[in-house]
Amino acid sequence: MRTYSELITIPTYKERFEYLKLSGEVGVETFGFERYLNQTFYRSAIWRKIRNQVIIRDNGFDMAFPDVPIGNRIVVHHMNPVDTDDVIYQREILLNPEFLISVSYDTHNAIHYGDMDLIQQEDFIERTKFDTCPWKH
């Protein structure tokens, strides 16, 4: 069982990715005809509350890795796959922050379906005064 406590002891971004990687296949059904269950759950007040707590805990960093900020949509990822029974019976794996991590949308897709090539490694450019208007220097 993957845990947050174990994940944050992993020293490199790549090793954290390998720890979380699921190697699934695109198009393989997870909830099938019961997809309404997870859609209802992800719209619930309790999920929104836990989701916000996890994002705050992780400081908006991808896989809680310092210096890798999530620059776009934050996804709170279940580190261990969940199924319909987990949702129906509200099992601990569903809402315990120990089993959740903040990731970027690209990282989430890479964890489920690919490898690190799917993660866009952005080089952030620090903006300076007049950097888009060089004639004003």
Mean pLDDT of 2-23: 94
B/e letters for 96-118, b = 16+ CB within 10 Å, e = fewer, are eeebbbbbbebbbbbbbbbeeee
Instruction: Say if pTM beats, i.e. exceeds, 0.75.
Output: yes
Contact criterion met (CB below 8 Å) for 4 and 99: yes
**Structural domain range at position 90:** 4-136
Q: What per-residue confidence (pLDDT) applies to 45? A: 95
Domain count, the chain: 1
For 55-106, write each residue's pLDDT tens digit: 999 999 999 999 899 988 999 999 998 888 888 898 999 999 999 999 999 9
User: Is pLDDT of 35 > 70?
Assistant: no
For 112-131, write each residue's pLDDT tens digit: 887 787 776 655 455 567 66
